[in-house]
């Protein structure tokens, strides 16, 4: 290696070392802040870390590195009981709260690999995972009046006012506030079943496709006719970001929905734990 090349290499290594030291210093400064939020509740602590992670980015040797972990973001388990109306209200509240915790999707690639050296050496997975904010156990033997169809849950979310922001429904909050985002109901709500409320992060790389393409593509793979824009076998897709409920399942359909490389908007999904697993959702451990 000639002298000039060696100088350039040493300069780059110096930049990397300086950047790593800077990150460590900032982490030490931020730790007391995280602790103060944790005292007020894990949901507040989670949102604080999301904001910090997406707001504190460093450019080291030409690579943009997002600082911080999301170790305060932990799945919270709830038991849900009551009438159809009460169950739908509780699930809607959890969905909106999950959206709030994730800073209302004001960022892309929230779950990118935080390992600094891996990123610098080109080993970053560049995948957007998903985070299960809540589990909801419908802990009763039956729901008076029968199960809650996916369409009913979706309509409730669409038609009910979000109490924290005047003039917005729950669906408006997901689609228009922060984001934009999408909302999906993957299963009917049945007694004595456990459901997940999941946040899926938008991909940084735009694919050019939307929810209608993903749902229709999955349906074609199953050999099923699907009209998602006007309503039909698959459900309904509305609004600029797109939101939907499903009338059937299939591996191709669920993989299209959960595929992190083809996600054009962030989203909130409600589904049975088995459905979420079938979709390949990587429920990440942030510890």
Give the integer Cα–Cα distance in Å for 269 and 265.
12
Does 286 reside within a domain?
A: no
Give the integer Cα–Cα distance in Å for 18 and 26.
12
Domain count, the chain: 2
Does 62 reside within a domain?
A: yes
Task: For residues 52 and 146, state if they share a domain.
Answer: no
Does 100 reside within a domain?
A: yes
At residue 222, the 3 state secondary structure works out as: coil
Q: Is the dihedral of CA 187, 191, 192, 195 positive or negative?
A: positive
Task: For residues 56 and 139, state if they share a domain.
Answer: no
Give the integer Cα–Cα distance in Å for 172 and 85.
19
Which residue in the block uniquely carries the two structure tokens 């999955």? 218
Task: For residues 221 and 241, state if they share a domain.
Answer: yes
Give the integer Cα–Cα distance in Å for 59 and 57.
7
Measure CA 33 to chain center. 24
Q: Write down the pLDDT at residue 89.
A: 97
Domain holding 60, by residue range, is: 1-74
Task: For residues 105 and 62, state if they share a domain.
Answer: no
Does 217 reside within a domain?
A: yes
Task: For residues 218 and 160, state if they share a domain.
Answer: yes
Does 287 reside within a domain?
A: no
Task: For residues 64 and 89, state if they share a domain.
Answer: no
Does 283 reside within a domain?
A: no
Q: Write down the pLDDT at residue 263.
A: 75
Q: Write down the pLDDT at residue 17.
A: 57
Task: For residues 68 and 131, state if they share a domain.
Answer: no
Q: Write down the pLDDT at residue 94.
A: 98
Q: What tokens were used for 225?
A: 């006719």
Task: For residues 67 and 80, state if they share a domain.
Answer: no
Does 246 reside within a domain?
A: yes
**Paired strand residues for 194:** 137
Q: Write down the pLDDT at residue 126.
A: 42
Task: For residues 19 and 83, state if they share a domain.
Answer: no
Does 113 reside within a domain?
A: yes
Give the integer Cα–Cα distance in Å for 287 and 275.
25
Q: Write down the pLDDT at residue 3.
A: 52
Nearest residue to 102 via CA among 162, 175, 50: 50
Task: For residues 40 and 84, state if they share a domain.
Answer: no
Nearest residue to 218 via CA among 260, 239, 246: 246
**Helix orientation angle between 42-55 and 84-101, rounded to the nearest 10 degrees:** 40
Nearest residue to 195 via CA among 272, 282, 284, 85: 272
Q: Please list the pLDDT of the chain residue by residue as tens digits (287 residues).
A: 555 555 545 455 555 555 555 544 444 444 444 443 333 468 999 999 888 876 665 555 555 555 667 888 889 999 999 999 999 999 999 999 999 999 999 887 677 655 544 444 444 444 547 889 999 999 999 999 899 999 999 999 999 999 999 999 999 999 989 878 999 999 999 999 999 999 998 876 555 566 667 776 666 555 555 654 444 456 777 777 788 888 777 777 787 778 756 677 889 999 999 888 888 776 555 54
Contacts of 77 (CB under 8 A, 6+ apart): 134, 135, 137
Q: Is the dihedral of CA 96, 151, 217, 208 positive or negative?
A: negative
Task: For residues 11 and 150, state if they share a domain.
Answer: no
Nearest residue to 189 via CA among 222, 148, 218, 159: 148
Task: For residues 270 and 250, state if they share a domain.
Answer: yes
Q: Give the up-direction half-sphere exposure of residue 39: CA atoms within 13 A in the CB hemisphere.
A: 5
């Amino acid at each position: 290696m000639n002298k000039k090349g060696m100088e350039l290499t040493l300069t780059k290594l110096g930049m990397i070392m300086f950047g790593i030291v800077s990150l460590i210093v900032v982490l030490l400064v931020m730790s007391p802040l995280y602790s103060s939020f944790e005292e007020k509740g894990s949901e507040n602590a989670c949102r604080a870390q999301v904001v910090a992670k997406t707001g504190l980015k460093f450019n080291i040797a030409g690579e943009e590195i997002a600082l911080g972990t999301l170790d305060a973001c932990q799945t919270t388990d709830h038991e849900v009981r009551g009438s159809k109306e009460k169950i739908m209200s509780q699930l809607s509240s959890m969905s909106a709260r999950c959206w709030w915790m994730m800073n209302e999707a004001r960022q892309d690639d929230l779950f990118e690999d935080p390992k600094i050296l891996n990123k610098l050496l080109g080993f970053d997975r560049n995948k957007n995972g998903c985070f299960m904010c809540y589990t909801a156990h419908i802990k009763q033997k039956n729901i008076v009046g029968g199960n809650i169809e996916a369409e009913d849950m979706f309509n409730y979310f669409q038609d009910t006012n979000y109490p924290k922001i005047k003039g917005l429904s729950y669906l408006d909050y997901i689609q228009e506030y922060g984001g934009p985002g999408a909302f999906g109901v993957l299963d009917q709500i049945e007694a004595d079943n456990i459901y997940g409320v999941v946040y899926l992060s938008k991909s940084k790389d735009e694919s050019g496709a939307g929810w209608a393409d993903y749902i229709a593509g999955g349906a074609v793979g199953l050999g099923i006719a699907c009209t998602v824009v006007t309503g039909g076998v698959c459900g309904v897709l509305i609004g600029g970001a797109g939101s939907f409920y499903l009338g059937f399942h299939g591996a191709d359909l669920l993989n299209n929905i959960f595929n992190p490389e083809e996600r054009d908007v962030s989203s909130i999904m409600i589904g049975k734990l088995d459905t979420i697993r079938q979709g390949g959702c990587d429920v990440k451990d942030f510890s």
